[in-house]
Structure 1
Amino acid sequence: MSMRVTFLGTSAAVPTTERAPSALVCNRAGERFLFDCGEGTQRQMMRFGTGFAVSHLFVTHLHGDHVLGIPGLVQTWDFNDREEPLAIHAPPGSRRHIESLLHAGGHQPGFPIRVNEVSPGAVALDGDGFEICAFATEHRTRSVGWALVEEDRRGRFDRERAEELGVPVGPKFGQLHDGNPVELDDGRVVEPEQVVGDPRPGRRLVYTGDTRPVSATEEIAAGADLLIHEATFASDEADRARSTGHTTAREAGRLARRAGVKRLALTHISSRYAGDASEIAREAAAAFDGESVVAHDGLEIEVPFPEA
């Protein structure tokens, strides 16, 4: 079951010729989730081939570089005669503002749109084998981050051991893998734990949006397969990062190290690094001994299962 993240916009508040405002798509086994929707997101979706079949949009906060792409995208969906409903998940207190965006210019969406206010710690989407939940972040306005957390998967079925125990090839294999004991023709009972390994962990994807480095991120990202953390500034702008509610690359790297994440992707890069983000990359790499990358528009990251 594949999981792929495509970065549509990786700039901070001011876009550059190389970086659009914040947005990314997560494609999990063909189901697409859009996180933030800065100006021009619909064009980036076309440019990088993510497709428009999105039923859930997760907004971290209401600053323009994270939401001003919503009116255009919704109107394009209308022009394409969309009928499928859309759910927009956002921090508490966001509904009225998002509904104003939906009706920008007097537009009346022709398909159902539900705005769901989600408090930190609550589950926004309870899917098949996964959930997407909100966690607390610290910015200059109400904000949340989002975590896609998969359930543990069944352990591997040991076919060789099952045959050694006399289990005939066929339906009984499936019954055992589903956790049910089976009775053999000679009366013996084979228990699932005799032929099924320990549960295997699912994947964990964490996206912070704009924030200071906070303990809630560290907690939700513990052992994450991919942490997408903002890194607006390098350390020489640490005072500015604090005053504006942002994070430096070094701070993001240190948080990733403490959380024990497998990979770190840095985004929301200030326009002052438009021509060269190598300082951001160097600082994160010095603080985090795992794999780290400064995301750019169009970057795709595959998120494999932990044992892959």
Structure 2
Amino acid sequence: MSMRVTFLGTSGAVPTTERNPSAVLVNREGDRLLFDVGEGTQRQMMRFRTGFTVSEVFITHLHGDHVLGLPGLVQTWDFNDREDPLTIYAPAGTERHIDALVHAAGNQPSFPVHVYEVEPGEVAVRRDEYEIRAFRTDHDTNSVGYALVEDDRKGRFDRERAEELGVPVGPKFSKLHEGNPVELDDGTVVRPEQVVGESRPGRKFVYTGDTRPSETVTEIADDADLLIHDATFADDRAERARKTAHSTARQAGEVASEANVARLALTHISSRYAGETPDHRSEAREVFDGDVFVPDDGEMREIPYPDA
């Protein structure tokens, strides 16, 4: 089952010729989830051929570089005769502001738009195989991050062992794999634990939005397959990061190392670096041994299962 991340915008507060403001699109087996909607997100969707189909939008906070693309995208959906409802999740206390963006310039969407406020620790979305949780971040306004956490998967079915036990090929295989015992023609009962291995972990995707390094982020990112973390500055502007409630690439690396994540994406890159970010990657790698990268706009990454 595929999970693909497309980085639509990787810039900090000010866009550059190479980087658009924040937006990340996650496609999990057809569920298309948009995290933040910086200015120009709709154009990035066209540029990188992701299409406009989105079922839910998750806003981390109300700073313009994370929300100003929402009015244009909503109006584009309207022009394209969208009928499916749109659900927007945002931090507590922001509903009226999000609603104002949806209806900017007197726009009245022809499709249903629902805005829900989420508190840190709350499950925003629950589906059959995964959930999306909000978590507290440390920024200079009311803010949250989001973690997409898949349920554990069934253990591997040992077909060879099942046949040794006399289970005939067919429906009884599926029944055992679903966790139910089966009875053979001679009355023997074969139980799932005899032919099914231990459950296997699903995937975890964590998106921080803007934040200082935080214990809460470290806890929610534990064993994440991909952590997208604020890395607005390199070490040369560490004091600026502290004052503006952002992180350096090294601090993001420290969070990733402590949380034992598999992959770290450094985003929200300040325009001061003019597209050149070798220090970001090298400084993060000094403290984090996993896969670390500074994504370009349009970069796409598949998230594999931990046991792949």
Scaled to the shorter chain, the TM-score interval is over 0.9
Q: 1:163 is matched by which residue type in structure 2?
A: E
Question: Post-superposition shift, 1:4?
Answer: 0.6
1:137-163 deviation per Cα after TM superposition (whole angstroms, max 9, x unaligned): 011100000000000000011000000
What value does the CA root-mean-square deviation take over the aligned residues? Answer: 0.6
Question: Post-superposition shift, 1:52?
Answer: 1.0
Equivalent position of 2:150 in the other structure:
150
Equivalent position of 2:113 in the other structure:
113
Equivalent position of 1:221 in the other structure:
221
Distance 1:176 1:284 in 2: 46
- Give the secondary structure class of the aligned counterpart of 1:54: coil
- Give the secondary structure class of the aligned counterpart of 1:96: helix
Distance 2:158 2:103 in 1: 56
Q: Structure 2 regions of 5+ residues with no counterpart?
A: none
Number of paired residues?
308
Distance 2:178 2:281 in 1: 45
Question: Post-superposition shift, 1:187?
Answer: 0.6
User: 1:164-179 to 2 correspondence within 5 Å?
Assistant: 164-179=164-179
Distance 2:257 2:8 in 1: 26
Equivalent position of 1:85 in the other structure:
85
Question: Post-superposition shift, 1:274?
Answer: 1.4
- Give the secondary structure class of the aligned counterpart of 2:55: strand
User: 1:234-273 to 2 correspondence within 5 Å?
Assistant: 234-273=234-273
Q: Which moved more, 1:272-281 or 1:33-42?
A: 272-281
- Give the secondary structure class of the aligned counterpart of 1:49: coil
Q: 1:210 is matched by which residue type in structure 2?
A: D
Q: TM-score, normalized by length of structure 1?
A: 0.99
Equivalent position of 2:192 in the other structure:
192
Question: Post-superposition shift, 1:285?
Answer: 1.1
- Give the secondary structure class of the aligned counterpart of 1:175: helix
Distance 2:256 2:105 in 1: 42
User: 1:89-104 to 2 correspondence within 5 Å?
Assistant: 89-104=89-104
User: 1:41-56 to 2 correspondence within 5 Å?
Assistant: 41-56=41-56
Equivalent position of 2:40 in the other structure:
40
Question: Post-superposition shift, 1:194?
Answer: 0.1
Equivalent position of 2:181 in the other structure:
181
Distance 2:207 2:226 in 1: 9
Equivalent residues of 2:19, 2:275 under 8 A apart = no
Question: Post-superposition shift, 1:197?
Answer: 0.4
Equivalent position of 1:137 in the other structure:
137
- Give the secondary structure class of the aligned counterpart of 1:255: helix
Question: Post-superposition shift, 1:303?
Answer: 0.1
Q: TM-score, normalized by length of structure 2?
A: 0.99
Q: 1:44 is matched by which residue type in structure 2?
A: Q
Distance 1:28 1:51 in 2: 15
Equivalent residues of 2:234, 2:250 under 8 A apart = yes
Distance 2:161 2:274 in 1: 58
Question: Post-superposition shift, 1:275?
Answer: 3.5
Equivalent position of 1:64 in the other structure:
64
- Give the secondary structure class of the aligned counterpart of 2:286: helix
Runs of 4+ aligned residues of structure 1 deviating over 4 Å after TM superposition are: none
Equivalent position of 1:76 in the other structure:
76
Q: Structure 1 regions of 5+ residues with no counterpart?
A: none
1:231-265 deviation per Cα after TM superposition (whole angstroms, max 9, x unaligned): 00011211110110100000000110000000100
Q: CA 1:178/1:275 → structure 2, altered by over 3 Å: closer, same or farther? A: closer
User: 1:203-222 to 2 correspondence within 5 Å?
Assistant: 203-222=203-222
Equivalent position of 1:233 in the other structure:
233
Distance 1:233 1:102 in 2: 32
Question: Post-superposition shift, 1:289?
Answer: 0.8
- Give the secondary structure class of the aligned counterpart of 2:216: helix
1:121-141 deviation per Cα after TM superposition (whole angstroms, max 9, x unaligned): 000000120000100001110
Equivalent position of 1:16 in the other structure:
16
Question: Post-superposition shift, 1:53?
Answer: 1.1
Distance 1:49 1:284 in 2: 31
Distance 1:250 1:204 in 2: 22
**Residue 125 (structure 1) aligned with residue 118 (structure 2):** no
